[in-house]
Amino acid sequence: RFARIGVPIARSTMVGWLCSAAKTLRPLYARMRELLLGSKFIATDDTPMKVQDRSKVKNIKLGRVWTYRGDDEHPYNLFDYTAGRGRDGPMSFIAGFKGFLLGDCFSGNQALCAETGSIHVACNAHARRYWIKAEPNNKTACAEILRMYRELFKIESDAQELGVSGEQLKLMREQEAVPLLNEMKKW
């Protein structure tokens, strides 16, 4: 961006700025993490990210960026990098957390909950993906469960559109989503 406007700045200089900003903002990040850990639930997921590693054949390895999102009373989104997908990074990040951990069924999430005393709640967006993958093998069965998922997700989009949150959202989910989830379980 700087080069496009005729201001040539060395990449090393910009990396130095980024490192200085990160060091300056570290106390703010630490406080946000502390507040996030006070959430009733934390939603988490990881995303693979290519990282330079000169010891590898193509100088690239896969690292992970973990996202952690709190509840409405603790509306913080924090990111954490780990070199792999093991549970050590997330374990140190959520140390002391005792609420609900919302995430996919990655075995590390289940182990995290076992070690921290948190309760693992699975993510329906992730669960739905398996039905989509199975659809070519059994269109009839998958069509029914995917219809139920659409109804379930519509409850959330309606709530968002109406600006429903907190206790009202909880009540809406109890009245509309619980019967649907029971239907899914029975199915």
Model confidence pLDDT, tens digit, residues 10-65: 989 999 999 999 999 999 999 999 999 999 999 999 999 999 888 988 999 999 99
Q: Is residue 18 within 8 Å of 9, Cβ to Cβ? A: no
Alpha-carbon radius of gyration of the chain: 21
Phi, psi of 43 (to 5 degrees): -95, 135
Model confidence pLDDT, tens digit, residues 147-182: 999 999 999 999 999 999 888 988 999 999 999 999
Six-digit token pair at 55? 């010891």
- Terminal-residue alpha carbon distance, the chain: 54
HSE of 67 in the Cβ direction (CA atoms, 13 Å)? 12
Model confidence pLDDT, tens digit, residues 55-109: 988 999 999 999 999 998 999 999 999 998 888 888 899 988 999 999 887 777 8
What is the spatial distance between Cα 184 and Cα 171, in angstroms, rounded to a whole number?
Answer: 19
Max Cα-Cα span within the chain = 65
Q: What is the pLDDT of residue 122?
A: 83
pTM equals 0.76
Q: Is residue 146 within 8 Å of 135, Cβ to Cβ? A: yes
Q: What is the pLDDT of residue 62?
A: 92
| 3-state DSSP helix/strand/coil % of the chain, to nearest 5 | 55, 20, 25
